[in-house]
């Protein structure tokens, strides 16, 4: 069977890797990317949909198919306004999940983060927000929800993120020291996360599945 996929966040680190994978795989004959502007890419399977993410309801007719992959995300450095930051990290993924349910999309794959939780005492706003997103989407009750919680992502980005370059350099030194129970904190290539998402999308599953970083490596 040939599948249709929808990717939100196809210009990001995981999303771009996932897009390249899906375009190469025979199981998918159509890949729709929801983007703010055209990607510099052309392929017979690729459909680029220029959307206003603040008006996602207007694009409900294209949000259908086998699987929706949500790879959306931003940074506090790039999005200084907290309302805008929450809109990208919370509102858009949740709205996409609702539209996916309405259009009977079978699977929803969400890139979250290691440490995601909704604990009010959490000292990290980012991980708390990721936990809130997971919880909100889980309550939508999609047929199959797959949540990926990677540690620090590595790979070539299309944008300049100096803080993450520094963190990646540090992790290259630290990763070999993380053994035993600590190995789950090792950095992970975005390509590995994307490959795990692709392979899981071929599985016939129902329910909610949460994949920690070390488990993602096994799935890929």
Residues marked as catalytic = 125, 130
Helices assigned H by DSSP within 34-161: 82-86, 92-102, 125-140
Longest dimension (CA), the chain: 49
Closest to 186 in 3D by CA, of 167, 203, 202: 167
Residue 158: which residues within 8 A CB-CB, separation 6 or more?
A: 11, 12, 16
Element (H or E) spanning 191, and its range? helix 190-201
Element (H or E) spanning 207, and its range? strand 207-212
Output the CA torsion 172→178→182→188 (10° steps): 30
Phi-psi region of 5 (alpha: psi -120 to 50; beta: other; left: phi over 0): beta
């Amino acid at each position: 069977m040939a599948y249709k996929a929808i990717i939100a966040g196809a210009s990001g680190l995981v999303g771009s890797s996932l897009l390249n994978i899906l375009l190469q795989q025979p199981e998918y004959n159509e890949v729709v990317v929801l983007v703010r502007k055209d990607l510099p890419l052309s392929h017979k399977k690729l459909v680029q949909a220029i959307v206003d993410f603040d008006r996602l309801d207007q694009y409900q007719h294209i949000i259908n198919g086998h699987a929706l992959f949500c790879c959306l995300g931003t940074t506090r450095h790039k999005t200084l306004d907290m309302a805008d930051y929450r809109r990208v990290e919370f509102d858009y993924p949740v709205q996409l999940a609702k539209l996916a349910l309405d259009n009977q999309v079978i699977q929803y794959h969400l890139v979250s983060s290691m440490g995601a939780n909704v604990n009010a005492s959490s000292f990290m706003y980012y991980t708390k927000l990721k936990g809130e997103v997971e919880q909100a989407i889980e309550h939508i009750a999609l047929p199959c929800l797959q949540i990926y919680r990677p540690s620090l992502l590595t790979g070539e980005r299309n944008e300049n993120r100096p803080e993450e370059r520094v963190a990646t350099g540090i992790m290259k030194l630290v990763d070999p020291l993380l053994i035993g129970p600590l190995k789950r904190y090792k950095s992970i290539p975005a390509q590995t996360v994307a490959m795990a998402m692709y392979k899981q999308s071929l599985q016939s599953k129902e329910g909610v599945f949460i994949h920690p970083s070390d488990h993602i490596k096994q799935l890929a």
